[in-house]
Amino acid sequence: MDCLVVRGAKPLKGQVRISGSKNSTLPIMAASLLCSGEVVLTGVPDLEDIKVMSQALEILGAKVKREDDVLIINGSTVDKYELPEEISRKMRASNLVMGALLSRFHHARVAYPGGCAIGTRPMDLHLKGFQSMGFAIKEEFGFMEGKASSLGSQEILLDFPSVGATENLMMAAALLPGTTVLRNAAREPEIVDLQNFLNRMGARIRGAGLDTIRIEGVDYLGSVEHAVIPDRIEAGTLMVAAAISRGEVTIENVVLEHIQPIVSKLREIG
């Protein structure tokens, strides 16, 4: 096991530019599977999960190229609907490709995800949502499989506002016939960023940031360029570190609205 030794007693000083949000980049990368053209993402962080998701997209047939913080994904060549266990087990967010594959091919087979083990985050909400949309779901041999059964307009009430389930169901509904309404949806900034990305491709989604999201299915999603939002968790961590060390740090590339709760609490404690 690795060990980190932190020697304190020194105020943090300097200037830091915040990376793009990993938690926004991963679902957007999965959503690129819906695109019949080319996706250009800017502000993409250089993290292991991003590399694993890139590998997953390539296994499914996409072409992925990285240049500094720019990721170029061509989804026009995607021709597979199954993500094998060896890649799914590496990362929790691998489950996000299921919604996109169901939307594009009306068929998906994805091994249960691995990765980050913070808390229990089962796939039940995702699978129940897919079933409500009209997909027949089967779970066996460590895989989740969905096939179109009776697709059409649906209203789905999530048992709790899961970010991953909200993202997966938004993607699944993007190319389906009719209108899908998600109630008790997650309201995080990453949900809004995913909506903005999908709408720039030609999707018809509104309500992200509120607890009800409405998705009107379209027939085609095209090429897009999109800047990923900054990582609010990284920004908040640095703000707290600067405060408790009595330092002075300038943090660039932040959206104040996304970190307002931390700003308010820091001001509250002086």
**Cα distances (angstroms) measured from residue 85 to each of 27, 46, 53, 130, 192:** 19, 24, 13, 21, 30
Q: Among this protein's residues, is 116 annotated catalytic?
A: yes
CB 79 within 8 A of CB 63: no
Burial class (CB in 10 A: 0-12, 13-18, 19+), 66: middle
**CA 253 – CA 228 distance, rounded (Å):** 11
Catalytic hit among 70, 116, 240, 244: 116
3-state secondary structure of 31: helix
* Residues taking part in catalysis: 116
